[in-house]
Amino acid sequence: MNDFSSVIVSENDISERLDALAEQIRTDYEGRDVLLVGVLKGAVMVMADLARRMPNTFTMDWMAVSSYGSGTKSSGVVRILKDLDTDLTGRDVLIVEDIIDSGITLHWLLGNLRSRGAASVEVASLLRKPDAVQVEIDVKYVGFDIPSDFVVGYGLDYNEKYRTLPFVAVLKPEVYGG
Distance from C-alpha of 158 to C-alpha of 13, rounded to nearest angstrom: 22
| 155 binds Mg ion per the rule CB under 5 A | no
* Torsion angle of the four alpha carbons 119, 123, 124, 128, in this order, in degrees rounded to the nearest 10: -170
The partner in contact with residue 169, picked from Mg ion, ligand IMP, none with C-beta cut-offs of 5 to 8 angstroms by kind, is none
| 103 binds Mg ion per the rule CB under 5 A | no
The least CB distance from residue 6 to ligand IMP, in Å, is: 14
| 74 binds ligand IMP per the rule CB under 6 A | yes
Query: Under rule CB under 6 A, which residues in 92-111 are in contact with ligand IMP?
Result: 97-106
Q: Is the dihedral of CA 46, 144, 12, 22 positive or negative?
A: negative
Strand partners, 37: 61, 95
| 42 binds Mg ion per the rule CB under 5 A | yes
The least CB distance from residue 150 to Mg ion, in Å, is: 13
SS3 79: strand
Distance from C-alpha of 14 to C-alpha of 10, rounded to nearest angstrom: 6
Distance from C-alpha of 107 to C-alpha of 8, rounded to nearest angstrom: 26
Query: Under rule CB under 6 A, which residues in 7-66 are in contact with ligand IMP?
Result: 42
| 143 binds Mg ion per the rule CB under 5 A | no
Q: Nearest to residue 148, comparing CAs of 123, 127, 125? A: 127
| 153 binds Mg ion per the rule CB under 5 A | no
Active site residue 101: yes
* Catalytic pick among 101, 131, 138, 157: 101
Note the residues at the interface with ligand IMP (CB under 6 A).
Answer: 42, 67-68, 74, 97-106, 150-152, 156
User: Could you list the active site residues?
Assistant: 101
